[in-house]
Amino acid sequence: MKIAVICCSLSLLITEGCSTQSKSRNALFQSTVTAASCEALTIDELDHDNTQKAHEEATFYLSWRLDDLRSFTNGVTKDELDSRTDLARSILKHATNNQAQLLQDKYSLQMITTLKSLLTDPSDIRRASDLAAYLKASGTNQVPPWSP
């Protein structure tokens, strides 16, 4: 928990102190600090044998990053869109093969819903929809998804 407070404080200080830097460099730097903070928190949970908590944190951060990817629409090349879709399909395949773990992770529905917004193939979209319906019907304590 101390790491989370330190990382959030550092992120705020960096954001405030970078007014003279270009916005794109500042955004990239901030994104890198945030990613490193998330990874540090996950490692901390793993080091304390809290694998379920680490999995939930990783799923939450993945949802967050997928939502960031979804927001990139202007100036995105076809190769970048293809890369984004390939990543989404890979995550969907993993999630489909690990449905039992999804039930134990309260951020799974959020991740699958965000993931669905990145998919383009109708069969992938249907699989993501089926997975989301499965999670909703499971009765587990799922965090409601963001509105994509």
Listed by start position, the domains of the chain span: 77-148
pLDDT score of 22? 72
Looking at residue 3, what is its pLDDT? 46
CA 98 to chain centre: 17
* Nearest residue to 104 via CA among 44, 65, 145, 53: 53
| Cα distance between residue 88 and residue 99, in whole Å | 16
pLDDT given for residue 25 in this prediction: 79
pLDDT score at 143 = 84
pLDDT given at position 5? 40
Buried b (16+ CB within 10 A) or exposed e, 53-89: ebbbbbbbbbbbbbbebbeeeeeeeeeeeeebbeebb
Q: Which residues of the chain have pLDDT under 50?
A: 1-20
What is the torsional sign of CA 70, 140, 52, 7?
positive
pLDDT of residue 127: 97
30 and 14 Cβ atoms separated by less than 8 Å? yes
Sign of CA dihedral 115, 119, 123, 125: positive
Contact in structure between 98 and 147 (CB atoms under 8 Å): no
